[in-house]
Amino acid sequence: MACDTGASYGSTLRYKSVERIKAVGKHSIIGASGEFSDFQEILRYLDELTLSDHMWDDGNSLGPKEIHSYLTRVMYNRRNKFDPLWNSLVLGGVKKGPKGDEKYLGMVNMIGTHFEENHVATGFANHLAIPILRAEWREDMTFEEAVKLVEKCLLVLLYRDRSSINKFQIAKITTEGSTIYPPYSLKTYWGFSHFENPAQGAVGSW
């Protein structure tokens, strides 16, 4: 899973070190696009959900499929109240099951539309990254190959969005747990100093 670390205030790229990938329980990670304050509200819901699940102390824990189903109901419920949470969410994870490791990847948008697939995306990536993933993704990819493919998608998005940023964060999850790597900047072909470290410098210097 990958996303950039930019957050806009209107049309201004105001914040450049916002992390939008979080671990959920033992088996899942979530990524979000859209309104960041609404994402914080969703994380509060998920904290309450995982705490309640842990308090049962029955040796079981919610897997990514259950959490994705929960998020679908939350988003659809808020949409029906005409008070939607303005996010598109990606939920992925791995959990040991009776037939071995069960991998799961799904998305849900602000009106509760949801599906699961081998690769999903939100925002501009739905139009620009999904065709690349369909052409180059393989079931047997190594982690290093997957990172290179994701970085290719991120660069395509960067070059075609004036409000984007070349600082990204990548996460992975296995049955051993989740790892969210520190943000880093991709090398671009534009000779502009702020692309080397977009989190520093005055806002007006752009």
pLDDT band at 159 (very low <50, low <70, confident <90, very high): confident
pLDDT in tens, 25-74: 999 999 999 999 999 999 999 999 999 999 998 888 999 999 999 999 99
- The answer on pLDDT for 203 being more than 70 is no
Query: Measured between alpha carbons, how far is 96 from 113 in angstroms, rounded to an integer?
Result: 27
What average pLDDT score do residues 178-190 get? Answer: 87
pLDDT band at 195 (very low <50, low <70, confident <90, very high): low
- pLDDT at residue number 52: 93
- Average the pLDDT over each of 102-106, 133-137, 164-168 and give the range with the smallest value: 164-168
CATH, range 2-205 = 3.60.20.10
- The answer on pLDDT for 204 being more than 50 is no
pLDDT band at 206 (very low <50, low <70, confident <90, very high): very low
Radius of gyration of the chain (CA): 18
- pLDDT at residue number 196: 66
- pLDDT at residue number 201: 56
- pLDDT at residue number 200: 66
Write b or e for each residue in 52-61: b if 16 or more Cβ atoms lie within 10 A of its Cβ, otherwise e. Answer: ebeeeeeeee
Query: Measured between alpha carbons, how far is 75 from 97 in angstroms, rounded to an integer?
Result: 27
Query: Which H helix or E strand runs over 52?
Result: helix 36-55
What average pLDDT score do residues 109-137 get? Answer: 94
Is residue 152 helix, strand or coil? helix
pLDDT in tens, 101-114: 899 999 999 999 99
Q: In terms of C-beta density within 10 A (0-12 exposed, 13-18 middle, 19 or more buried), how is residue 68 classed? A: buried
